[in-house]
Amino acid sequence: MLTDCTDEQLLKQALAGNEEAFTALYRRRQGPIFRFALHMSGSTQIAEEVTQDVFMFLLQRGHDFDPQRGVVAAYLFGVARNYVRRALERNYPESVLSSPIEDQVDALVVECDPTEGMVRHQTSTAVWKAVLSLPEHYREVVVLCDLQGMSYADAAETVHCAIGTVRSRLHRAHDMLGKKLQHSAAVSPAIPNVTARCMS
Amino acid sequence: MTCREFKHSAASYSMWELSRSQDEQVLGHAESCESCGSWLRKQRTLAVSMQTLQARTAGLEAGANVERALLRAFRQDTLQGSNVVPMGVKERSGSLRPAATPLSTPVALKLSRFFEVGAYVALAAAILVSVFLGVRILRNNSNAPQVQSQIAPSSVEPLPQKPVTAVQNAVASDLSHGQPASAPRERTPRSSVKEVATATSTVTNDDAQSLAEVDYTPLMFCDPLSCDADTQVVRVELPAGANGQSSQPQEADLVVGYDGVVRAARIVN
């Protein structure tokens, strides 16, 4: 029954004291919020803290949400964006670029070809580090549009800017990522490293 | 298509936003222009890498401990009722904001509690001060008769003026003989004298008569202003060995002036 409800309906019921509605809303939206914080910070701990803070904020200030200004998901991403920024200011640079996610990612993926899996792992890790090294306003549009699959319009609503700004930032971020990946590939080519790891 | 138009359209190409005809134009220019073709290949590689990373992280979620902590907080809030919107409250313009915003209440509540606590503290302080002052006044009132009784107990009758005058004369005569005031003070140091309030004895006229006959040791120089005033003889008990001679407690008579200063003393046999 609750699975058919919209986010706004679930939020309304949750604020009225319905625990099941709150649980349903949390389970529906915690994954994207967690991944957004994880992609932005590179730290599982920060991502969990941000996820908890976002939904605590929703409990305490959920009545401030105005459906005329946007959807609940964009509202949550906007709150998460602020908490991620605070967490990064507090913990930077210990959290960023540490990539503790790699172990969790490996645990989730089952590769048929181990060599191909290693190459994918290295490629995604290189992309991951390149994304984390981007400036924050470029990083967030890459995370929102490329990694979260959000539309330009939703991303613009989340970061509170025009759609054209999102497009131009994304275009510029892709250029920067291409250069970073090219540089990292020149420094450490993927295949020889994989061979060396397999031999060892 | 120029290289500038290609770069402008290429971002949309990567997001699959262009129509098929525009895609063909972009691909045609990438085949004809080597630099643009290289750029497009890099973007494709990047897009594939992004999709790979997205796929690898798609299943990640927050731990169960986060959900437990949130549900615990939710239940606490529900029990306290701080964030619960009452059912049936009409929304304004479709907003979820409750009719009575709970955020404005705590400020006034905190202020009122602050003043309430302050009033209690002030009241408690006033009670403490009044109790303290009352105890002090009672102590003063109760101490005054005791001091009076110590100075002039009911069992002690003040000596008649005449014998006292005789004592004063004896003291004055001793002083006139040039005895230093410090000499007797060494004999009976004040620190070794233990006053016993109950040791005061009744002095009769006969005793007073005998006082004139017994030499008192003057303890200070007397000027007419101080020594002519009223004095009183008080008998005290000295601790054993206070004078360095006897091992038994001894009694002494002290001539005490109105100012409480001992004018003279003698050892009672």
Q: What is the pLDDT of residues B149-178, one digit of tens each?
A: 444 444 444 444 444 454 555 554 544 444
Nearest to B66 among A51, A109, A181 (CB): A51
Q: What percentage of chain B reaches a pLDDT higher than 70?
A: 50
- A102 or B207, which is more confident: A102
Test B97 with A23 for CB contact under 8 angstroms. no
Contact B46 A177 (CB under 8 A): yes
Q: Is the dihedral of CA A11, A15, A21, A27 positive or negative?
A: positive
Residue type, A2: L
| Substitution target from A29, A34, A43, A183 for chain B, most B beta carbons within 10 A | A34
Name which of B4, B6, B57 to mutate to probe chain A: the one with the most chain A Cβ atoms within 10 A of its Cβ.
B57
Cβ A170–B11 below 8 Å, yes or no? yes
pLDDT tens for each residue of chain A, 200 residues long: 677 788 888 888 888 888 888 899 998 989 999 999 999 988 888 899 999 999 999 888 888 888 888 888 888 998 999 999 888 887 655 555 454 455 545 444 445 556 666 666 777 788 888 898 899 899 999 999 888 888 888 888 888 889 889 988 988 898 888 888 877 665 544 433 333 333 33
Question: Which pLDDT tens digit goes with each residue over B37-71?
Answer: 888 888 788 888 888 888 888 888 888 888 888 88
Smallest Cα distance from A141 to chain B, Å = 13
Q: What is the pTM of this model?
A: 0.53
Q: Do B96 and A104 touch (CB under 8 A)?
A: no
Q: Considering only CB atoms, which chain B residues are within 8 Å of A23?
A: 67, 71
ipTM entry: 0.76
* Whether residue B194 has pLDDT greater than 70: no
**Rounded to whole angstroms, how far apart are CA atoms B44 and A141?**
18
User: How many Cβ atoms sit within 10 Å of the Cβ of residue B204?
Assistant: 13
Between residues B1 and A38, the one the model is more confident about? A38
CA distance B3 to chain A (A): 15
- pLDDT value for B240: 75
Q: At A196, list the tokens.
A: 């060396």
Interface test with A, best of B49, B68, B72, B90 (most A CBs within 10 A): B49
Residues in B touching A128 (Cβ below 8 Å): 53
Sole residue written with tokens 């609940």: A72
* Cβ within 8 Å, pair B60-A31: yes
Please list every residue in chain A whose beta carbon sits closer than 8 Å to the beta carbon of residue B50.
127, 142, 146-147
Check pLDDT > 80 for residue B122: yes
B53: nearest CA partner in chain A:
A124
Judge whether B66 is closer than 8 Å to chain A, CB to CB.
yes
Tell me what pLDDT residue B124 has: 93
C-alpha distances in Å from residue B30, one per residue of A72, A138, B23, B35: 41, 26, 10, 8
